[in-house]
Structure 1
Amino acid sequence: MSTFWAPGTDAPPAEAPDYPMPRAAGCPFDPPPALQTVQGQTPISRVRLWDGGTPWLVTRYEDVRALLADPRISAESTHPHYPHMSPAMKERRRQSWTFINMDDPEHARLRRMVTAAFSIKRVDALRPAIQKIVDGLIDAMLAGPKPVDLVQAFALPVPSLVICELLGVPYADHDFFQANSRVLIKRTTSADQARVATQQLLDYLDRLIGDKLAHPADDLLSTLTERISARELSRSEAADMGMLLLIAGHETTANMIALGTLALLQHPAQLTRLRESDDPKVVASAVEELLRYLSIVHSGRRRVALEDIEVGGVTIRAGEGVVLANDVANRDPDAFPAPDQLDVDRNPRHHVAFGFGVHQCLGQPLARVELQVVYSTLYRRIPTLRLAVDLDEIPFKHDGNVYGVYELPVTW
């Protein structure tokens, strides 16, 4: 039987529990029971990863938030003891090194180049365009056959159309970039498969950047080409950044749309509260609560200690890997009363679904607006929306670095 490392000793156990841990059957929205046990009993402990590494697992909200903001914790994925999520992610980081896996000052220098496009003011100006996209897709669903897979008909197209418009990527290529993205975010993907998918995406982005250098437009890739021309950014760095924004810009929000809808369908009172309210504050609160409750980044934020750090009575030594379990931190009863209840009136804006500190998600203003538009429109326009299959027939992404569902058959 696996045991957790006990505070007070320096040596990891011969056998630490595997991480990520499995969810309980029939409880697809909750973190793994073993993870919640760890949080209550040994909130900072060793776990074993796919490559045999035994980093520290940090589970309590207060500790996770503090370490995410601590400059003694590094996001540098090139560190020899960085706790990579999977062989695919390790290979992807080797081929494409972006600012999310860098420390300041280089992280800040590169991130500043794209920050303005994701500012709250700039993103809020996109709300009418996002509303038009959402309404158009709902119109198409209502005019088509039933049942329909909400993932393919709605959840994936919404953020894909938005990020394509923002970046200047042709939406006609969505099958290509979505297929390669799916390869890269699965834990079961091999390093060779990841190498091919990463290179295909980088080559694709490089061609687009070449087009923008010759024919700039009003989009983010064209903005990056200005940095290339000014010799502030290399062409390969621009391709790396473009690939990051393209993948992150559609995968995470698509999963939140589908999984959030499924969670609401399983909590009809909460769905009714959201559907029948025309108060933007209720919608915004529901978005924050679903982000907290579902925490689709369910394999933890990965870091390395640069110095010895005392936290929760444990010393994390310099050079040791750290996994910050944001999913179970968002269910910490010390931070969120009755954390396992979905309550759309809670408005837990202090959650860590987007991370915290200097590396918190760049695109969170865009994700919030997209989700607010979706959650305030879909259930109002299709008030009888319901599952077309039993819950136990829904294929969940247990094998993904981002949690969600592969399909969501619905009808009305």
Structure 2
Amino acid sequence: MRAVDIIHKKRNGGELTNDELSFLIKGYSQGEIPDYQMSAWAMAIYFRGMNAEETAYLTMAMAESGDQVDLSPIRGIKVDKHSTGGVGDKTSLVIGPLVASCGVPVAKMSGRGLGHTGGTIDKMQSMPGFRTELTREDFIAQVNDIGVAIIGQSGDMAPADKKLYALRDVTATVESIPLIASSVMSKKIAAGADAIVLDVKTGSGAFMKTLDDSEKLAMAMVEIGTKVGRRTAALISDMDQPLGFAIGNALEVREAIETLHGRGPADLTELCIALASHMVVLGGQAANLEEAENLLREKLRSGEALAKFKQFVAAQGGNPEVGDDPSLLPQAPVIVEVPAPKNGHVHAIQAEELGLAAMLLGAGREKTDSVIDYAVGITLQRKVGEPVREGETIALLHVREDNAAVQAVSKRVQDAYSIGTDELSPSPLLLSIVTESGIKRI
């Protein structure tokens, strides 16, 4: 078997076999197949695509290129959740303890952020003392004991994906649905969950800008999960404006805690309940989504979800009192108000621009070795559809000091708001549900 023959076959529209894809991924991982041949193969995939079976074969080949986590010692059906990323997305901090309080074990491995704000791991580390690294034995014991653990992702998980993604990034082949889907799912499958719920973002602040493309990506990932024996469902959620009001690490933890108290932003609460409902059904703790939703709302109302969050924080070395007193989280000493430039109604908020603005304040990483300031970030005061008056505060910048750089960020935040004269209702948050049965628009 030769790489050139596999490239030729796909270039001409052929269907690759499991053996061919395994040969290619193994050879590339071990340095036997050079970058220039994998670049040619990736470009052939970009133009020719892959069917569901090929994509599943590719996913498993990448999952098998490194460590695979065995979660069988954990009792029950393990359900994982993954988001394709968005500005202000702190759902894992709410969903982990919320789903665990319903009896579904959550054994989750999350990543750090590069660009925008930090990832789930960075947000959790804004809680002083919180440990994001556990031994395998401690990880499993914690999930069996309290029902939830969230740790950093192993560097040896799906290493072929990491190598291939870096190559795609410099060869203009990132925007390929089969390659994106296999990249995401290879890590989820290697992480060992029995079932997977996906939150696929769409809109200006998402990687996928259109609903059609988001649905295609979601369907590709659901098909992969189904073919490799993982029950999988996906929700398409709007990211034309940030989720919730907080953008930044400690700020987002505070907002997640407010949500567990039952007084969080409506959009964040709605999305967490929707995702968690699918997890509870797949985890066998509810017969249908309506039953799951009722159970989840009761866990929020009774305080059981918050109690589980405090257990989770304490188990990983953090101070559980943060659950009742978020002022224990890092706080920036200076708050700068961003004024509305004119009267009207908020018509749009460029979510990606606000994410980049938060990064410039220090809440995210511009480079892999950048140091995050957990305290800084942005809290929105107005969202799409709301009225504003000229000079009224539309956002707050949480910073170390007010200087020229902060004023430049303030202007950037102001420019991210589109204010018009007509009243406008925000877009629906939840747009589609994707399962092995197909796509259902909400």
For the aligned pair, the TM-score class normalised by the smaller chain equals under 0.3
- Higher relative CO (Cα under 8 Å, sequence separation at least 6) belongs to 1
TM-score when scaled to structure 2? 0.26
Tell me the TM-score normalised to structure 1 length: 0.27
More helix by share: 1
